[in-house]
Amino acid sequence: MTNPFQQLEADLAERRAAHLYRRRPVVSTPQGPTVVVDGVTLTSFCSNDYLGLAAHPGLVAAAQAGAARWGVGSGASHLVCGHQAAHEDCERKLAAFVGKPAALTLATGYLANLAVITALVGREDAVFADKLNHASLNDACLLSRATFKRYAHNDLDMLERQLADTPARRKLIVADAVFSMDGDTAPLAGLLALAERHDAWLFIDDAHGFGVLGEGRGSMAECGLDSPRIIYMATLGKAAGVAGAFVAAEEIVIDYLVNMARPYIYTTAAPALIAEAVSASVDVIADEAWRRERLQDHIRLLRDRLAAGGCQLMPSATAIQPLEMPSSEAALALSAALRQRGHWVAAIRPPTVPTPRLRITLSAAHDTAAVQQLADDLIALLPTLSSPRSLS
Ligand SMILES: *Cc1c(COP(=O)(O)O)cnc(C)c1O
């Protein structure tokens, strides 16, 4: 008898040997600055809960009231009978908040990216994507069957050459506004100028900017940019602390997605209680500027203290503060050593990123002492890295 899963086992063994095997740590607390993971209490520097809203009592209360009012299931897709008044209200609120005529909510950001790109471009079209875009954008580009051109990270000249060369019917430029594993930002004004010059649309994934930048209204607001050509997407499971995503654009674009986007049409609507929690989150994001200020203070503190200790982070002004590592093995070893000192920092390895790194994320929920302690422990541990084995 042959083992029917032999090839799968071989693939996983290869990943293990290359220090690329993954497992899922089990967290037995709500998300917050301190979590219990696999039974150990750690300070978390790996969630995307940048504003500390994932367990915010007001959002929890909104979800509970939402469950009491709407039940827990939406019953069907939006086009059949799953589109409830809570979804409708939430979409209006999100559109108004980011200054767009209309918005559409979806159950996840991954789904939103699939929906937008596969609906807007097809075989006769071309999509132009930054090399460091999120995996969900790349998957969406492949699924769309459009000609898929990738330009070097933030390289506007290369993008312009690609735009000038294309015979495509429709052109869509796609970029993360804040790059999820690097923390740096896209040249949004330059991208919009190219979209205008070459009659393209610009699709911006602001998963890590919404709630944080532009007084919470996101990266376009931060840069003071607005254009009907911009199709804006943000996720609601990161700074907003809940789940899902929304697309904000001209009415015609949203109407087109409702009618044409298969990843929107053929899936059950997210529960209305999620929409209620998101609406509550938008209020907190709008009202509590102190969360963004506190996050900025932590970013400055971490960078300054590490620089003073001779430790160079990758260039980033956002809550994502990665530390490049010479190898996946070294990244795992440093992550393990930090864990022994009570810090939880994820080692991010290929194929998620081209080069291994520790991805440190900061939150308004951290206290200053925790950020200082992380910096001090990193400075103490880094010199031992030349012989990574000594760390483990
Ligand atoms: C997290 C993320 C997504 C996916 O959003 P989910 O709601 O987690 O599915 C999409 N784009 C970027 C840049 C992300 O970081």
Distance of CA 207 from the midpoint of ligand 1 (Å):
6
Distance of CA 182 from the midpoint of ligand 1 (Å):
14
Instruction: Give one DSSP letter per residue of 315-326, joined into a string.
Output: S--SSEEEEE-S
**Model confidence pLDDT, tens digit, residues 48-103:** 999 999 999 999 999 999 999 999 999 999 999 999 999 999 999 999 999 999 99
**Model confidence pLDDT, tens digit, residues 223-262:** 999 999 999 999 999 999 999 999 999 999 999 999 999 9
Crossing angle for the helix pair 57-70 and 85-98, to the nearest 10 degrees:
140
The catalytically annotated residue of 180, 281, 335, 363 is 180
pTM, full prediction: 0.96
Instruction: Confirm whether residue 298 is marked as ligand binding.
Output: no
Query: Which ligand 1 atom is nearest residue 238's CA?
Result: 1
pLDDT bin (cut points 50, 70, 90) of residue 182 is very high
Instruction: Tell me which residue of 216, 367, 276 sits closest to 58, measured CA to CA.
Output: 276
Asked if residues 301 and 371 have their Cβ atoms less than 8 Å apart, the reply is: yes
Asked if residues 379 and 306 have their Cβ atoms less than 8 Å apart, the reply is: yes
| Domains in the chain: boundaries | 19-51+289-391, 57-287
Q: In this structure, are strands 357-361 and 320-324 parallel, antiparallel, or unpaired?
A: antiparallel
Q: Is 392 a catalytic residue?
A: no
Straight-line distance from the first to the last Cα atom of the chain, in angstroms, rounded to the nearest whole number: 40
Query: Which residue lies with its CA nearest to atom 4 of ligand 1?
Result: 109
Ligand 1 touching residue 207 (CB < 6 A): yes
Asked if residues 243 and 237 have their Cβ atoms less than 8 Å apart, the reply is: yes
The catalytically annotated residue of 149, 208, 298, 343 is 208
pLDDT of residue 388: 44
Ligand 1 touching residue 234 (CB < 6 A): no
Ligand 1 touching residue 237 (CB < 6 A): yes
Query: Which ligand 1 atom is nearest residue 110's CA?
Result: 9
**Model confidence pLDDT, tens digit, residues 267-291:** 999 999 999 999 999 999 999 999 9
Ligand 1 touching residue 136 (CB < 6 A): yes
Q: What is the residue type of 124?
A: E
> What CATH code is assigned to 57-287?
3.40.640.10
Ligand 1 touching residue 364 (CB < 6 A): no
Say how many C-beta atoms besides its own lie within 10 A of residue 174's C-beta.
Answer: 29
Q: Is 131 a catalytic residue?
A: no
CATH classification number, 19-51+289-391, choose in 3.90.1150.10, 3.30.70.260, 1.10.3430.10, 3.40.980.10 = 3.90.1150.10
Asked if residues 358 and 346 have their Cβ atoms less than 8 Å apart, the reply is: yes
Helix (H) or strand (E) holding 130: strand 126-130
Average pLDDT over residues 314-330: 96
Asked if residues 347 and 335 have their Cβ atoms less than 8 Å apart, the reply is: yes
Q: Is 93 a catalytic residue?
A: no
Measured between alpha carbons, how far is 339 from 359 in angstroms, rounded to an integer? 14
Query: Which residue lies with its CA nearest to atom 5 of ligand 1?
Result: 109
Looking at per-residue confidence, does 182 or 385 come out higher? 182
Ligand 1 touching residue 180 (CB < 6 A): yes
Q: What does each C-alpha distance from 94 to 85, 226, 235 come to in angstroms?
A: 14, 16, 11
Mutating to test ligand 1, I would choose from 205, 208, 247, 352 the residue with most ligand atoms within 8 A of its C-beta, which is 205
Query: Which residue lies with its CA nearest to atom 6 of ligand 1?
Result: 109
Mutating to test ligand 1, I would choose from 133, 136, 213, 246 the residue with most ligand atoms within 8 A of its C-beta, which is 136
Task: List the Cα angle 103/106/107 in 5-degree steps.
Answer: 155
